[in-house]
């Protein structure tokens, strides 16, 4: 079982160099990417529970993978590519959770990426691409869509009180200086790349030769509810749930 768990986790919580294949596959999976963003962490986290204690080499590779993809995200040319790099960077960190964790945590991890993927799809459908050079000024041109995109990007890079933020805090252990240093570097690159993406795609003047079709009210409401889960659930829900299920002290 542990062997199977290792195989599944290596695919779902990709480590370098297998992360290259996962990243490529996610790039090709345009329509199904949202589902992949949801299922991969869930599955990975579930199977991680069957691994007693991953060797330290694995943990160091996970830190390295996370840092590498966070750095790559800074030069991403499109929102979709950026989302993929941050996703790989984030899920590779799940190896750092001690064994015995419940897979529901994977859901919290996945939520911001699901929201991001949905935003990205909405942009790609409307404009044909989410390339940062070509699509800009969504904030002015399609304000509701711009708002949701902003929330999704902020959620993914771990802005309080998103689920990513809470997870990150839990991962930072004061006693392990080296690990904290790497994780701080990862978070720094997430922030930097996220702001770059925001300033390209959301801010700035809309292009004159593109039409900016905004979300309808129903679509916006669904996504706002999801955003509320990403941010509101991040802290409150997690704390309540972990108290109810007796998880405190295990992180």
Partner 1 sequence: MRLEEGKKLFIRSLITVAGEVIPFFWPMRNFIHHNPLYGLERLPFKEAVKLGSRLFHARGYLSREAYRRFLERGDIKKELLIKHLREFLKERNFEREQYERLLSTLMMEADLKPSLNLYLNCKCPTAKEIAKHLEEEIDPAEEVKKLSQKLGREMTLYDFIDQTFGTRIGETLNELMARNCAEFLDEGQAVWGMPFRERGFYKAWREVAKRSRRLKLKGCCGLENVLESCEEPEEAVAFALGAMGIPEDLWDEYVTTELSKLHGWTGFIRWRSNTKDYYWQIKHPADLVDYLAIRLLLALSLLREEEKNLPFTPELSSIREFIEKNPEGVLIRKDYFSGKVPPHLAQEVYESIELDRLNSISRRYFEEKKKAEALSTASFITQLWKEAGLEEEKLLSMDKAELLELGKLLRDFEEEEGYIWLKAHEDTLIERLVAGIEAETPDTEDRPFAQALFCIDVRSERFRRNLENLGRYETYGIAGFFGVPISFIELGKGHETHLCPVLIKPKNVVLELHKDLKEEKENLYEVVKEIIHDLKYNVFTPYITVEAIGLLFGFDMIGKTFFPLGYGAFRHRLANHKPPSKLMIDKPTKEYVLEVIGILQREIISRAVKNHLGKEEVPERILEALRKLALEEERNLEGVAREMNLSTQELENFIETLRRDYRIERGYTRIQIEKLAKIGFTLEEQVFFVERALHSIGLTKNFGKLVLVIGHGSRSENNPYESALDCGACGGDHGAVNAKVFAMMANKKEVRERLREKGIDIPEDTLFVACEHNTTTDEVEFFDLDQIPATHLPFIQKAMEDLKEAGKKTALERCMELGNDCKDPERAFVEVRKNSLDWTQVRPEWGLSGNYAFIIGGRHLTRRLNLEGKAFLHSYDWRIDPKGYMLEIILSGPLVVGEWINMEHYFSAVDNEHYGSGSKVYHNVVGRIGVMSGNLSDLRTGLPAQTVLKGKHPHHNPVRLITVVEAPLGRVKKVISGIGKIRELVQNHWINLIVFDPEERKFYRYLEGRWVSPSYEEVSQ
Residues near partner 1, by CB under 8 A:
77-78, 125-129, 131, 133-136, 207-211, 213
| Closer to partner 1 by Cβ: residue 125 or 181 | 125
Least Å distance, CB 167 to partner 1, is 31
Largest pairwise CA distance in the chain: 57
7-33 burial string, b = 16+ CB within 10 Å, else e? ebbbbbbbbbeebeebbeebeeeeeeb
Task: For residue 243, give both structure tokens.
Answer: 């108290």
Beta strands in 58-150 (DSSP E): none
Least Å distance, CB 192 to partner 1, is 17
| Closer to partner 1 by Cβ: residue 131 or 167 | 131
- Using DSSP, state whether 29 is helix, strand or coil: coil
| Closer to partner 1 by Cβ: residue 176 or 213 | 213
Least Å distance, CB 213 to partner 1, is 7
Least Å distance, CB 37 to partner 1, is 19
- Residue 215's nearest CA partner among 161, 158, 151, 164 is 151
| Closer to partner 1 by Cβ: residue 123 or 226 | 123
């Amino acid at each position: 079982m542990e062997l199977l768990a290792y195989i599944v986790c290596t695919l779902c919580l990709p480590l370098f160099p297998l992360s290259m294949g996962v990243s490529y596959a996610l790039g090709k999976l345009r329509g199904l990417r949202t589902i992949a963003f949801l299922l991969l962490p869930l599955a990975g986290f579930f199977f991680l529970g069957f691994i007693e204690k991953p060797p330290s080499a694995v943990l160091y590779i996970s830190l390295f993978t996370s840092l590498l993809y966070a750095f790559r995200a800074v030069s991403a040319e499109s929102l979709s590519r950026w989302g993929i790099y941050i996703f790989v960077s984030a899920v590779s960190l799940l190896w750092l959770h001690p064994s015995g964790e419940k897979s529901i945590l994977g859901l919290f991890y996945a939520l911001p990426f699901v929201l991001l993927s949905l935003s990205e799809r909405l942009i790609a459908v409307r404009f044909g691409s989410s390339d940062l050079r070509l699509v800009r000024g969504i904030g002015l041109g399609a304000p509701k869509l711009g708002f949701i995109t902003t929330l999704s990007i902020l959620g993914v890079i771990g802005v309080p009180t998103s689920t990513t933020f809470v997870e990150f805090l839990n991962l930072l252990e004061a006693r392990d200086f080296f690990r904290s240093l790497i994780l701080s570097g990862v978070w720094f690159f997430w922030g930097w790349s996220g702001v770059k993406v925001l300033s390209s795609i959301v801010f700035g003047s809309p292009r004159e030769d593109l039409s900016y079709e905004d979300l309808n009210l129903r679509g916006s409401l669904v996504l706002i509810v999801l955003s509320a889960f990403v941010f509101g659930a991040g802290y409150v829900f997690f704390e309540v749930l972990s108290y109810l299920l007796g998880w405190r002290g295990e992180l």
